[in-house]
Amino acid sequence: MNFVCPHCAQHVELDEFEMLEIDTLHDDFHCARCGETFAAYINDCMHCAAEQTFVWKAVPTEAELAAVACDSCGHVNSAPGRDEHDSLF
């Protein structure tokens, strides 16, 4: 997984060995280019199984994190009444 610093939009952070936990907020990244800190979240969509990263300049609120929607299918993992056993249709 790769993600770009939300402050400078230039430096790409790499997780080449995929050591970061999925569906966990990581709020301690430091950009090697601009030195700013930022938060990252790796989403594993329960609907289509797509993995994607989201970044914020500051730690997101619980509501912002809960509203993360899959870029591929639009599914929101935390939507009320939805769980990993939902049908694709």
Q: Which residue has the higher pLDDT, 85 or 25?
A: 25
pLDDT digits over 30-63, tens only?
888 999 999 999 889 999 999 998 999 999 999 9
- H or E stretch including 4? strand 2-4
C-alpha separations of 17 from 13, 34, 44, 58 in Å: 12, 24, 17, 25
Kindly give, in sequence order, each residue whose CB lies less than 8 Å from that of residue 86, ignoring residues fewer than 6 positions away.
46, 47
pLDDT at 32: 87
pLDDT of 81 higher than 70: no
pLDDT at 89: 30
pLDDT of 82 higher than 70: no
pLDDT at 15: 66
Q: At 57, phi and psi to the nearest 5?
A: -70, -30
Name the average pLDDT for the chain. 82
The average pLDDT across 21-26 equals 88
Domain boundaries along the sequence of the chain:
2-66
Residue 65: Cβ-neighbour burial (10 angstroms; 0-12, 13-18, 19+): middle
Residue with tokens 């969509």: 45
